[in-house]
Structure 1
Amino acid sequence: MAETDGATASVEPLSTPSTDATSVSATAKPPPETQESIWLRRSVIVSFWLVVVLLGLPVWWKTTAIYRAELPLETMGAWAESKVCQPAFPLKVAVEAPIPAQDAQHLLRDTQHSLDELNDFSAHRLSLLLADAPFVANASQQIVTDGIAVDVSHDEDIALSVRLVPVETGHTPRSLLQPYSPRLDVYYGPSQLPTAASTGSPLATYIAEELHKLFGEEQALLAHLLSKTPGPRAPVAKRLSSGIIAELEHRSTRALKYAPTYHLTFSLFTPINIPSDWDIESALQRYMSPFLDSLTGIHNFTIDTQVQLYSGYTPTVRPEFDEQSKSWTLRKEDLSGFINAAEWPLTPSIGAGPTVNFVLYVPDRSQSPLVVKETGGNSWLVPQWGGVVILNPTEADEAAPAIMTREALAPAMHTFSTQLMSLLGLPQSPGCLPLRISTLVRVRAASLLFSASSTLGALARLYNALPSIPIPDKVAKSVDLTTEHLQLACDSLKEGRFHSALEHARVAEAEAEKAFFERSMVGQVYFPDEHKVAVYLPLLGPVAVPLIMAALKELQTTIRNFKARRSS
């Protein structure tokens, strides 16, 4: 209470705001959404989804789809399992018999009967044909069989010619195989010819045994090759001993893989400055070219040469002096390290095909003669690589010649030729080079046929195992060409046209390899589905999350409103 001018004044308290307005604003709800705005929102969401489903997904599917050409998988599998082709090797042997035709036919029947009894490999059969005229160089010759005369003067499918030569002195029957001509001369006495009444003759038996012996190694090679292929082998079965199998396996590990072209490199290495040159061109022309020319139907060859001075062998190889033989020796375990790969320029692949290296090493006179301790030889073969020859200077030379002549290179060239035969897989017998080359034609044709068939099977398995890799049309085209040439090669083998079979098998192998190693197809193998997820997820995630969440929210609202209407 305050007093002012004697009067009493009263103070009234201020009024506080009413709490009713606060409660009203707290419980107020937003205005209900109009039906028009609901349908507008739903239309926007649906339109986005329609764009994604009807436009986005088809475009994505079309632009990322993997094209896979149709392949004849059943046919490819049948070739791989050797169900389509059972190869056969019918060989024609022309016989020239200077006797009446009736007696000659009788001799051929007896010989053929004896030969069939000796043969235990039905896929490889020798068929004897009678030559109508003497075998004269560059003359027209004919074979008569079943009344049909066939010109064989230039028939390369005649495996062997047998010439019967009557003699009156010396042991008979005896034979002589020509070393550089596919001809077997059989010498017989007049009394050894079979008569019309006889059921057999020693001459026929002798010829059959000689022919069976000549083609024995070829049969073993083909039988071993057939035994390693899948599929039924009963019709062509031939049992081989474990020793023969081991020997054939050992040879196969030394031989090079087949290639249409090989590059031959001849290298001269010496640890000093002499010899500084060699007459290699003349030596190759004289000693190597005839052999290479005889192989042109199977392989092509390119050649280069080089000379490297002051090139010592690997420092870890230490020759030992043998007092007994007065020579320097290399142990057998040192041969694998003799090649100085660090300093010798021996490129593993030069030119169109695999490189075959032939090294001629001329040691210093202070370490000459240099030989292999265990064998005493001066050369060795490096499996699937090439050969090495150590050419020791002779004691007659007062000084090492600066230039190696063709005559001095002759022993090395002969050794290189023998090593090349082993690397190419030529059989070791018989002693006739054309026969060995014709055997190689048949073996190569069969091996390429099986290799191409196996590649088709691998491609079919890859097609089924990896559905995400593309298969372009050129792969399908190569597969069709492969199967076509495989069939032609198989037919040619059965008809005895072995050079034609080799050509078709070579094309089939090349096309099969081309199809299997197609770049666009092989590259996709290393792009698995996990990589695709890693690429697409960062791109599609920010777009997909709002669309999915909006659709889910709208779906929840619709379900809640539906339940509310049902409960009311």
Structure 2
Amino acid sequence: MSSEDYERTRTRVLVSILIVFLLAAPIWWRTTEVYRAPLPVEDIRAWKEDKAFHRTLTLNVDVAFYDHIGDGSIPTAGKLVEISEKLENDLNELYGTTEKGRAVRRGEVEESVPSEVFADVKLGFRISGELDLSCTDVAAKGDSWSSSLNGHYKVHVACTRPEAGKQTDIYVSSKRAVFVEIPGQCTDDVRVSHTLLSVIGGLFADEQTNYLKMTEQKGEAANTDWESMRTMKYASKYQVTFSLLNADPSKVLVNWDIQEAVKAYILPFFSQLSELSEFAIDSQVQNYAALPIQSQLMEKDGRTVHVLRPEALPHFINSAEWNLASVVSSAPPLNFVLYIPPQSQSPLFVVTFKNDVLETNAFLIPRWGGVVISNAEEIGVRHFSLDDLHPIMEVYVAQLRDLLGVKHIRIRNVETLLPNAQVTYETAPDAGITLWELDQLVRRRTVQNIVDAVTTLNSLATLITNLESMVVLDDIQSQVLYALDALRQARLALEANDFSLASQYAREAFVSSEAAFFDPTMVSMLYFPDEHKYAVYMPLFVPISVPVLIAVIREINGWKNRKKRIKQKEE
């Protein structure tokens, strides 16, 4: 082989290697790149902009006057319009929905939400008045006297004959209705307006305060008050476990009719909350459940008893020995324990800091559940029947209310504003929650879910923007798009005052945003960043690339020399 053929062959081999490199480079780049489905970052950021979610939740209140004594003591039609308009203006000014931009509550001025906060939610009121000359008995508090929709309420006003010492009677029913009996004629529009303003404004004052906390502190996670610390974080589904723990089955054998008790006392409560969350229920019985803390001795009624003090209660749960998670579930757990102490520690009571024995002999563990202690009086077999479990289930329902954020309805500062008024609150029915409480919980959770969904989506957008090696699959993109659409639908539903529909969309937005943020595929490539790629590829490609690069340089120099020699020969 001549030198020219050798050089030609060497050039062809080198060119072939370069072609292989050039063709393989884009294939390698494509097969090793991190897939990132495009996300609507601008749409996500738009929800965080100033006044992106500034909403007034309008509540419709129908005020009806009844001629209780039949002497024309109720306002005329013209006066009724004036009272309704003045009451509506005063309420909206009180709650900061007027142009004044501040809420005045019982002599206390609170500035409205700062402009840099993306969410600002206030309550607004639409008042309508009516006269009913045919009804003379306001005591018939039936279903026809209440409203069937969230956000629609009725206030029934009757004026009674003025009597010495007669006071204003206010009856807050469990079904979106308030009954007010004012002694004297209702033609005194100033007095009537003041009474109605105090009643209606006070009923929703706590709810408005909660909205201010949510929006100013940008989410429930920022709240540090006791109520927020003990309330469970919202979830679309909860796993509820009822556990019967028997410390010493050798002395006392215990069983219970838990299925019948749950059906009778717990399921009605959960059915009322079905539009907010789902609840999966299971039960279990565990024996030889030792008390994880040491009880103390105290004298009570002339005998020595064992007591658990408040500072010891947080250590009551012994997760190493008590396997309370009987069902494998990703849903947040709610545990409710009925504990039977051993004979050596009986009777066992829960006391306060002042050493007063709690009547319920139960306590709440924030964001975990509740515990009821029942002492076995005799050795042998003890059976908790449905009737025996009734007071225990009442305690569990009360603990569930605290854990799920159900707040008691009340008229704030009624003692100061209406010092001579007698207020009666109808207790919750068998369901364990009134419609007033349910409505406020639905609205509060709706706003909270919207705020949390927006915060989660913005955190996701920031994370993906800053970490270029993070995988973004099509499923994550779909979840984000669905969450944004649900947020828009929730906002439209709130504008239409359809709180039930808004709650549904807010729940879907929250669930989708959480699913996208915590998708396990997003962190797969974070453990193999670019620095690690270089560490892997350099030992492989450097030994190959250096000889090839030297050969290319040598070939280029040889080609230049050959071209130079040919040029010299031609000259």
Which residue of structure 2 lines up, in the alignment, with residue 125 of structure 1?
Answer: 124
The TM-score normalised by the length of structure 1 is 0.79
1:93-131 superposed Cα distances (whole Å, 9 cap, x missing partner): 222323565443333223223323433447212222346
1:358/1:416 contact within 8 Å kept: yes
Q: What does 1:372-383 correspond to in 2, within 5 Å? A: 372-373=350-351, 374=353, 375-377=356-358, 378-383=361-366
Which residue of structure 2 lines up, in the alignment, with residue 114 of structure 1?
Answer: 90
Report the secondary structure of 2:321's partner residue: coil
Pick one of 210, 229, 232 that aligns with 2:199.
210
1:402 and 2:382 aligned = yes
Decide which moves more: 440-449 or 182-191: 182-191
Decide which moves more: 506-515 or 542-551: 542-551
Q: CA offset at residue 308 of structure 1?
A: 2.3
Structure 1's 266 and 114: CA in aligned 2 closer, same or farther, altered over 3 A? same
2:256/2:385 contact within 8 Å kept: yes
Q: CA offset at residue 168 of structure 1?
A: 2.4
Which residue of structure 1 lines up, in the alignment, with residue 266 of structure 2?
Answer: 288
Report the secondary structure of 1:86's partner residue: strand
Q: CA offset at residue 41 of structure 1?
A: 2.5
Which residue of structure 2 lines up, in the alignment, with residue 234 of structure 1?
Answer: none
Find the aligned partners of 2:437 and 2:479 in 1 and give their Cα distance: 33
Higher strand share: 2
Q: CA offset at residue 215 of structure 1?
A: 1.1
Which residue of structure 2 lines up, in the alignment, with residue 414 of structure 1?
Answer: 394
Which residue of structure 1 lines up, in the alignment, with residue 48 of structure 2?
Answer: 80
Which residue of structure 2 lines up, in the alignment, with residue 177 of structure 1?
Answer: 172
1:157/1:499 contact within 8 Å kept: no
Q: CA offset at residue 542 of structure 1?
A: 4.2
What number of residue pairs does the alignment pair up?
Answer: 500
Which residue of structure 2 lines up, in the alignment, with residue 42 of structure 1?
Answer: 11
Q: CA offset at residue 423 of structure 1?
A: 0.8
Structure 1's 207 and 138: CA in aligned 2 closer, same or farther, altered over 3 A? closer
1:321/1:329 contact within 8 Å kept: yes
Report the secondary structure of 2:225's partner residue: helix
Q: CA offset at residue 385 of structure 1?
A: 0.7
1:492/1:498 contact within 8 Å kept: yes
Amino acid paired to 1:177 = V
Find the aligned partners of 1:177 and 1:325 in 2 and give their Cα distance: 44
Which residue of structure 2 lines up, in the alignment, with residue 157 of structure 1?
Answer: 151
2:167/2:182 contact within 8 Å kept: yes
Pick one of 31, 46, 55 that aligns with 1:63.
31
2:39/2:480 contact within 8 Å kept: yes
Which residue of structure 1 lines up, in the alignment, with residue 492 of structure 2?
Answer: 491
Which residue of structure 2 lines up, in the alignment, with residue 149 of structure 1?
Answer: none
1:80/1:456 contact within 8 Å kept: no
2:339/2:372 contact within 8 Å kept: yes
Which residue of structure 2 lines up, in the alignment, with residue 223 of structure 1?
Answer: 212
Q: CA offset at residue 275 of structure 1?
A: 4.6
Q: What does 1:409-488 correspond to in 2, within 5 Å? A: 409-430=389-410, 433-488=434-489
Amino acid paired to 2:123 = H
Which residue of structure 1 lines up, in the alignment, with residue 161 of structure 2?
Answer: 168
Structure 1's 399 and 477: CA in aligned 2 closer, same or farther, altered over 3 A? closer
1:95/1:164 contact within 8 Å kept: yes
Find the aligned partners of 1:472 and 1:202 in 2 and give their Cα distance: 64
Find the aligned partners of 2:385 and 2:50 in 1 and give their Cα distance: 53
1:389 and 2:372 aligned = yes
Structure 1's 348 and 528: CA in aligned 2 closer, same or farther, altered over 3 A? farther
Find the aligned partners of 1:398 and 1:518 in 2 and give their Cα distance: 54
Find the aligned partners of 1:209 and 1:470 in 2 and give their Cα distance: 56
Which residue of structure 1 lines up, in the alignment, with residue 80 of structure 2?
Answer: 104
Q: CA offset at residue 138 of structure 1?
A: 6.7
Q: CA offset at residue 270 of structure 1?
A: 2.3
2:291/2:341 contact within 8 Å kept: no
Q: CA offset at residue 221 of structure 1?
A: 0.8
Find the aligned partners of 1:437 and 1:496 in 2 and give their Cα distance: 16
Find the aligned partners of 2:309 and 2:479 in 1 and give their Cα distance: 51
Structure 1's 70 and 364: CA in aligned 2 closer, same or farther, altered over 3 A? closer
Find the aligned partners of 1:108 and 1:352 in 2 and give their Cα distance: 51
Find the aligned partners of 2:24 and 2:233 in 1 and give their Cα distance: 52
Find the aligned partners of 1:248 and 1:311 in 2 and give their Cα distance: 34
Q: CA offset at residue 153 of structure 1?
A: 5.7
Decide which moves more: 537-546 or 373-382: 537-546
2:186/2:192 contact within 8 Å kept: yes
Report the secondary structure of 1:126's partner residue: strand
Amino acid paired to 1:413 = M
Q: CA offset at residue 530 of structure 1?
A: 2.3
Q: CA offset at residue 537 of structure 1?
A: 2.9
Q: CA offset at residue 407 of structure 1?
A: 2.6
Q: What are the ranges of 5 or more consecutive residues in structure 2 without an aligned counterpart?
A: 67-73, 97-102, 104-111, 113-121, 411-424, 427-433
Q: CA offset at residue 52 of structure 1?
A: 1.6
1:396-428 superposed Cα distances (whole Å, 9 cap, x missing partner): x66676212223222221111111111111224
Structure 1's 252 and 545: CA in aligned 2 closer, same or farther, altered over 3 A? same
1:8-27 superposed Cα distances (whole Å, 9 cap, x missing partner): xxxxxxxxxxxxxxxxxxxx
Find the aligned partners of 2:63 and 2:380 in 1 and give their Cα distance: 54
Which residue of structure 2 lines up, in the alignment, with residue 540 of structure 1?
Answer: 541
Find the aligned partners of 2:222 and 2:536 in 1 and give their Cα distance: 54
2:276/2:507 contact within 8 Å kept: no
1:79/1:456 contact within 8 Å kept: no
Which residue of structure 1 lines up, in the alignment, with residue 185 of structure 2?
Answer: 191
Find the aligned partners of 1:222 and 1:312 in 2 and give their Cα distance: 44
1:35-67 superposed Cα distances (whole Å, 9 cap, x missing partner): 4543442233223212321x2112222322333
Which residue of structure 2 lines up, in the alignment, with residue 23 of structure 1?
Answer: none
Q: CA offset at residue 559 of structure 1?
A: 5.8
1:450-476 superposed Cα distances (whole Å, 9 cap, x missing partner): 111111111211221122333233322
Q: CA offset at residue 556 of structure 1?
A: 4.1
Which residue of structure 2 lines up, in the alignment, with residue 279 of structure 1?
Answer: 257
Q: CA offset at residue 505 of structure 1?
A: 0.8
Q: CA offset at residue 264 of structure 1?
A: 1.3
Q: CA offset at residue 485 of structure 1?
A: 1.1
Q: CA offset at residue 219 of structure 1?
A: 1.0
Q: CA offset at residue 227 of structure 1?
A: 0.5
1:107/1:193 contact within 8 Å kept: no
Q: What are the ranges of 5 or more consecutive residues in structure 1 without an aligned counterpart?
A: 1-30, 142-151, 195-199, 231-244
Amino acid paired to 1:203 = V
2:159/2:185 contact within 8 Å kept: no
